[in-house]
Amino acid sequence: MYTLIEFAAVISGALYGVLLARRHEMDFVGVFSLAFLVAFGGGTLRDLFLDRHPLFWIENSHYAVIVFVLALITSILPQLPDRVEHLLSIPDALGLGLFSLAGALAALDFGTTLFIAAILGVVTGTFGGVMADIVCNRVPSLFRNAPLYATCSFTGCWLLFLLRALNVELVYALPSALVFIVGFRMLALKYNWRLPAAKPHQSCRDSQGPGTGRAEP
């Protein structure tokens, strides 16, 4: 079950990276690099934090081959239709759920506490996208007041832990937590659910000087 979740996560992450690269009109090198970052970035950080060797995508070397082939095929396709832009949220949400759960399970297998496992689940699920956003010269959505992202991952990991504590079989607990994360993320995007953001004090705005602060309505 874990292997299946991880494999599906790699495919979803690579697909999101491919679509994002095509949106920015990158060539094959750019498409593969972005797909590689999204598919392996978060899991690599998790493995480094856990001092887990070899890294998961080196241990399963066929993952990199699959990402390479996927990037190659999509790079030679003609220009994707504009409606594909709207599909980015689907592999994004699916990859978030799959990677988060895979990361949390890997951390638990390594002997971490539940809280650390949930944190590493979030790292696994989100930091591939963070790296891709940085490469695309965008402020990562994880670090700005954007629709809920890490929150979906964190709560989904705890749902998985709760179901397992209630002796729900993993074959049922994993799909349930996955549906929760994906559904939560899609609803957050649709209804623009956000965490409250801290607003700078008026004195801080004034100290920025004219023309540097946010324009008032």
Note the pLDDT tens digit of each residue in 48-90.
Answer: 999 999 999 999 999 999 999 999 998 887 766 656 656 778 8
Angle at Cα 132 formed by Cα 131 and Cα 133, nearest 5°? 90
79: tokens are: 């220009």
The answer as to whether 77 is a domain residue is yes
CA 94 to chain centre: 9
The answer as to whether 37 is a domain residue is yes
8-state DSSP, 168: -
CB contact at 8 A, 13 and 99:
yes
Q: Does the structure show a pLDDT above 70 at 216?
A: no
Query: Residue 25: what pLDDT?
Result: 85
Over the stretch 181-205, which tens digit does the pLDDT of each residue have? 999 999 999 999 998 876 665 555 5
Query: Residue 203: what pLDDT?
Result: 53
Identify the three-state secondary structure at position 202.
helix
Query: Residue 210: what pLDDT?
Result: 46
Interatomic CA distance for residues 13 and 57, integer angstroms: 13
The answer as to whether 175 is a domain residue is no
The alpha carbons of the chain give a radius of gyration, in whole angstroms, of 19
Query: Residue 144: what pLDDT?
Result: 81
* pTM of structure: 0.87
The answer as to whether 171 is a domain residue is no
Query: Residue 81: what pLDDT?
Result: 61
The answer as to whether 32 is a domain residue is yes
The answer as to whether 205 is a domain residue is no
Query: Residue 22: what pLDDT?
Result: 84
Confidence of residue 211 (pLDDT cuts 50, 70, 90): very low
Query: Residue 163: what pLDDT?
Result: 97
* Helix ranges, the chain (H): 2-23, 28-49, 56-59, 62-75, 89-109, 114-135, 150-165, 170-191, 202-207
Interatomic CA distance for residues 216 and 53, integer angstroms: 52
Query: Residue 17: what pLDDT?
Result: 92
CB contact at 8 A, 101 and 156:
yes
Domain span holding position 28: 2-143
Show Cβ contacts of residue 181 under 8 Å, excluding neighbours closer than 6 positions. Answer: 93, 96, 97, 100, 101, 152, 153, 155, 156
Query: Residue 212: what pLDDT?
Result: 41
Over the stretch 109-157, which tens digit does the pLDDT of each residue have? 999 999 999 999 999 999 999 999 999 998 888 888 889 999 999 999 9
The answer as to whether 88 is a domain residue is yes
Query: Residue 214: what pLDDT?
Result: 37
8-state DSSP, 156: H
Question: What is the count of structural domains for the chain?
Answer: 1
The answer as to whether 65 is a domain residue is yes
Over the stretch 155-164, which tens digit does the pLDDT of each residue have? 999 999 999 9
Q: Does the structure show a pLDDT above 80 at 179?
A: yes
